[in-house]
Structure 1
Amino acid sequence: MDLEARTIGRVTKRLMPFLILCYFVAYLDRVNVGFAALSMNKDLGFTATVFGFGAGIFFIAYFFFEVPSNLLLDRVGARRWIARIMFSWGIVAGAEAFIPQISHATGLSPATVFVTLRVLLGVAEAGFFPGIIFYLTIWFPALYRARMIGMFMAAIPLSTVVGGPISGMLLYVHGFGLANWQWLYLLEAIPALLLSFVVLNYLTDRPKDAKWLSDEERAWLVERHATETRIREKANRFSALQAITNTRVVLLAFIYFGINAAVYGLSFFMPQIVHSFGLSFGMTGVVTTLPYIMGIIGMVFWSRHSDRSHERREHVGLALLIAGLCIAGTTVVDNPVGKMILFTIAGFGMFGSQPCFWALPATFLSGPAAAAGLAAVNSLGNLSGFFGPYVMGKVKDATGSYTIALLAISVILGFAMLVALSLQHDHKLENPALHEEEEETPVSLRRPTARELA
């Protein structure tokens, strides 16, 4: 086995399973509110609008603290900062189990306590996802990045595939004066607290510190990262502020807004949609997993295809087209089986688009600019995590169905697809060999670049 394959293989085995586990726990704590709502809303008297507002307000707090959090991660190191994030969100996620008790002690309404805790959860978790994406750009060369991001982000649908049935079964747990949804919050917060201590002792901040690599492997990885950084900065060199205001970064944020409008709008309300088919809590948890199983397939298959073809934009655009058409289709199909088939195919598009999407900003951003730019894309894009659930709840209360909200999501996905296809992407910035080959070719023998013609 050659040096590159051996090094990538060792880094993958060391980091990816653990990072997937961490994100699995993070995402489960973020969206288990959808399952809690099956009984929490009735117990606390929440309307769909109140629930949608509280579920989505998480992302407003996330928006304000995302960029500062990622810049701090770059400065203090991923190991310490990710451990801090996981510990703090574990505390807040567990506190959601005690909304009635906190309401009684403070005199605040249960709705106010619910919304406040969701805000605090957003503050606590801000920076985790873009921090890990930035971390992966340090450890994996660009040609491997989409598939690694795909592996990591597979934790999103996996958290529902595995966590959905678990969450559904936990709704049968009662005792010690706590309702079933309180046990759900409490028990699913514990893994984050435990993992925070593991992170502190397991992760390595940068390749130069990786004593678990041989000297030869460590030297190759450090040099490869330095070479790719040099190539990106030669083509585009940004400060952190310039990265945040860069036009491409803003357009990427809009695309991610569309993706997340679909992902979170459905994640928070899918259990309620499925439960309305007349299924039990347990079967609701099982059936809800179907779009997410397809999402795992989409993430792994589509990201590998993108890496092999060195193409990003069309992979993102086609996946979003599939998702948008299928979600729109659910509004004209009345049969529950037909609806679930369409939601399941939509899962391929919603989740398959994401690793290909996240490979795009890393091709022109590096260092602090990458930390700031990735956080800006994620925080702006995640604003739809507020608007998606809130609008779905509002529409449900006003019309008695989700039809208009689902159509709105499909339209947003359509616009996101068009923006994705309009983006510029130079695949040579992801492949040092191609770049170096072009540099070594005499100018008289190669076609001049746009930069040279300018």
Structure 2
Amino acid sequence: MPQSLPAKATIAHASAAASASAYESAPASDAGDALLFRKIAWRIVPFLFLCYVVSFLDRINIGFAQLQMKHDLGFSDAMYGLGAAVFYVGYVFCEVPSNLLLARFGARRTFTRIMLLWGIASTGMMFVSQPSHFYVLRFLLGVFEAGFFPGIVLYLTYWFPANRRAAAISVFFAGVAVAGVLGGLVSGWIMRDMSGVLGLHGWQWMFAIEGAPAIVLAGFAFTYLVDRPQDATWLTSDEKARVAALCGDSRAHGGGHGAHDKRSLLAALANPRVYLFAFIYFSLTCASLTLNFWMPLMIRDFGVTDVVAVSLYTVVPNAVGAVGLILIARRSDRTGERRKHFACCTIGGGLALAALTLHLHSFAAMLACLSIAATLIFAALPIFWAVPTRYLSGNAAAAGIALISSIGITSGIVSPWVIGLIRTRTGSMDLAVYLLAALLALSGAALMLGVKGEPAQRA
């Protein structure tokens, strides 16, 4: 197991490089812009991608830990679901303040603080011995990690114009799938082969090993990142001026004061589109979180009992999903069309989930349904985020993006707990899957009907 951390970094960096290469194919207004945004993408995207992979792995690794943890500690499905949900209570309450702090103090300090604290909390999960420990640490992990994803979305608006944003954002949602791949490759082996070492359970070693990279990356974030394009010593004066012309002067996004923060938040609260986007994001994340948290159990329920085999099988849907979401997001950027792409992804993903309730007798068919669902649901996420970032600009973007994310991510409170209850009481996930398919269809209809056309790209 000493190779676990280097292997994790190698796989994630290779995936980031592939994702950045995919980004390069986004349409350009001219060759000069293509070279400029390729340069920016290769400078900031791979590092942030790696950070997001570690972030999501630390968020979802309890999906693998439950294969041993529930037996060792006597947790029921409902207890596990509640623990998974408690993370999002802390996350929701701290999301907007964290993004406003990023707009005021900059990305370097904000991302460093977030990664350091979540790494400590994630590693601390190894000391859980009773439900109260589990709930408290999951809550703290949510508090500390709050603002990281919407902070990345906000940060990317400083560097990439709207017509390139879905491709850039898709790289980070590929991180969701890559975290699933890494979890499948690494977590099962850690839990099996490290079990009993120094008297610790395998799941305790998993939390210790997978939580450490966040602490290391926190130190690199402060020295590697810059707060805005104007601060980038690796851009020329002409390149900085071009980024400002296409994306807006990023100085408008930072250095705000309390009054500006309050006005930004009030403007976001008064914008009805924010609530439409929040509902859509809620529906979408209900489905994506179900895949993240419950896929290992779905596979085990099919008769796969070895923990390493379960982990390896989860690699297939996540790997297929990582490739598929980048290709679909590239096509959406190339055509400039968002609504139909999103609706096709959500409806198709819902149908693929619903097919799982047919009690398929073929393991290959079940894995194919999971792979199709993962691809379409994951692909819908970057396409979705390319829409609200066109409607929100300036200081309002920090509050608006965080508000959409914080309201939408309440799905993390509702979804794991409700699914855990349904599973505990019925012994099946069929009812939960039908509800998720309906929510996905509603989210597709909401974007199609609620957003008529695209606003002009901001200069």
Structure-1-length-normalised TM-score: 0.89
1:55-77 CA distances to partner (integer Å, 9 max, x unpaired)?
Answer: 11111111111001100010000
Q: Does 2:365 match 1:338?
A: yes
Tell me whether 1:300 sits opposite 2:326 in the alignment. Answer: yes
* Deviation sequence 1:313-334 (CA, Å, 0-9, x none): 1111110001101101110132
Alignment partner of 1:183 is 2:205? yes
The match for 1:105 is none
Cα distance change, pair 113–245 in 1 and its aligned pair in 2 (3 A)? farther
Query: Does the alignment pair 1:285 with 2:311?
Result: yes
- Give 1:147-296 correspondences, 5 Å limit: 147-172=167-192, 173-174=194-195, 175-226=197-248, 239-279=264-304, 280-296=306-322
List aligned pairs for 1:42-191, cutoff 5 A: 42-100=71-129, 110-172=130-192, 173-174=194-195, 175-191=197-213
Shift of 1:430: 2.6
* 1:202–1:227 distance in 2 versus 1, CA, 3 Å: closer
Q: Which amino acid aligns with 1:356?
A: I
Q: How does 1:427-438 map to 2 (within 5 A)?
A: 427-430=454-457
Deviation track 1:252-296 (CA, whole Å, cap 9, x = no partner) reads 111111111111122111111112223211111111122212221
How many residues are matched? 416
Distance 2:234 2:452 in 1: 35
Structure 1, residues 76-96: CA drift from partner, whole Å, max 9, x if none? 001110110000000000110
1:235 equivalent in structure 2? none
Q: When the two structures are superposed, what TM-score results if normalisation uses the length of structure 2?
A: 0.88
* Aligned residue type for 2:201: A
SS in 1 for 2:358: coil
Unaligned runs of 5+ in 2: 1-29, 253-262
* SS in structure 1 of the partner of residue 99 of structure 2: helix
Question: C-alpha deviations, 1:81-137, integer Å up to 9, x for none?
Answer: 01100000000001100012xxxxxxxxx1111011110000000000000000001
Query: The residue matched to 1:331 in structure 2 has which SS?
Result: helix
**Distance (whole Å) between structure 2 residues aligned to residue 349 and residue 74 of structure 1:** 32
How far does residue 229 in structure 1 lie from its aligned partner after superposition? 11
Structure 2: distance between partners of 1:228 and 1:123: 27
Task: Point out where structure 1 has 5 or more consecutive residues left out of the alignment.
Answer: 101-109, 231-237, 433-454
When structure 1 is superposed on structure 2, of 151-160 and 24-33 the one drifting more is: 151-160
Equivalent residue letter for 2:282? F
2:457 & 2:381 partners in 1: Cα distance?
18
| Whole-Å separation in 2 of the counterparts to 1:194 and 1:275 | 34
- 3-state SS, counterpart of residue 366 of structure 1: coil
Residue 25 of structure 1 aligns with which residue?
54
- Percentage of identical aligned residues: 39
Answering whether residue 74 of structure 2 is matched by residue 35 of structure 1, we say no
Q: Distance in 2 between matches of 1:21 and 1:227?
A: 27
Selected match of 1:419 from 423, 426, 446: 446
Which residue is 1:234 aligned to? none
Q: Deviations over 1:334-359 (max 9, x none)?
A: 22322221111111111010111000
Residue type of the alignment partner of 2:110 = W
- For 1:371, which of 370, 394, 398 is the aligned residue? 398
Distance apart, 1:227 and its partner CA: 7.5
CA drift of 1:428 comes to 4.8
CA contact (8 A) 1:83 1:197 kept: yes
Shift of 1:387: 1.1
Q: Is the 8 A contact 2:390 2:455 kept in 1?
A: no
CA RMSD between the two structures: 1.7
Shift of 1:402: 1.1
Amino acid paired to 2:269: I
Partner Cα separation in structure 2 for residue 171 and residue 216 of structure 1: 52
Q: How far 1:189 moved relative to its partner?
A: 0.3
Residue in 2 aligned with 1:15?
Answer: 44
Distance 1:421 1:139 in 2: 28
What amino acid maps onto 2:142 in structure 1? G
1:4 to 33, 37, 48: 33
**Paired residues of 1:362 and 1:370 also in contact (CA < 8 A):** yes
- Pairwise CA distance, 1:243: 1.4
Q: Give 1:417 shift.
A: 1.3
CA distance change for structure 1 residues 361 and 428 in 2, over 3 Å: closer, same or farther? closer
Counterpart CA distance in 1 for 2:448 and 2:250 is 25
Sort the Cα spacing of 1:149 and 1:374 in 2 relative to 1 into closer, same or farther, 3 A: same
- State how far apart, in whole Å, the 2-side matches of 1:275 and 1:371 are: 41
- Alpha-carbon contact 2:328-2:379 (below 8 Å) kept: yes
Tell me, yes or no, if the aligned pair for 1:323 and 1:349 is still in contact at 8 Å: yes
For 1:135-172, what per-residue CA distance to the aligned partner results, in whole angstroms no more than 9, with x for missing partners?
Answer: 00101111110000001221000111122221111111
Runs of 4+ with >6 A deviation: 227-230
Of 254-263 and 289-298, more deviation after overlay is shown by: 289-298
| Paired letter, 2:32 | L
- Contact kept in structure 2, 1:161 and 1:293, CA below 8 Å: yes
Closer/same/farther in 2, CA of residues 227 and 112 from structure 1, 3 Å limit = closer
Structure index of larger Rg: 1
1:361-382, Cα deviation, whole Å (9 max, x unpaired): 1111112211111111111111
Contact 1:157 1:296 in 2 (8 A): yes
After superposition, the C-alpha distances for 1:193-237 in whole angstroms (9 at most, x for unaligned) are: 00000000000110000101122212211222228999xxxxxxx
From 354, 379, 386, the counterpart of 1:328: 354
Return the match for 1:384 from 394, 411, 414: 411
